[in-house]
Amino acid sequence: MKQCPRCGKDVEEDMNYCPHCGEPLKKVSKEEFSVSADDLVAKVKELIHEGNVIRIIVKNEEGKTLLEIPATVGVIGAILAPWMAALGVIAAIATKCKIIVERRED
């Protein structure tokens, strides 16, 4: 077991984030994309299929977080369906969105 550098609580070796405070435990890089609501679902699907994505955060024009998707390797099919439905609703009410992508650094 190792300890979280932020809160000091014990965490498993294979965890990407501390379950207590949310601190990243492995090196991650962040990218930001600005997309129109029409392209939101397609862009998120594309990012998930890339495979090295850990988490996807969707924010509105004001910077408010609308949705956080834990995009681990095992997220496929029926598990992904509710997230895509939520993205469809966000796309219907938002005009522009910002997608923040966290990737594993190997």
pTM: 0.67
Structural contact between residues 55 and 63, judged by C-beta atoms closer than 8 angstroms: no
CATH numbers and ranges of domains, the chain: 27-104 (3.30.1490)
Angle between helices 77-93 and 40-50 (to 10 degrees): 150
| pLDDT tens over the chain, length 106 residues | 889 888 999 999 888 788 888 887 877 788 999 988 788 888 888 887 777 788 888 898 888 888 888 766 445 554 566 767 777 777 767 778 899 998 877 6
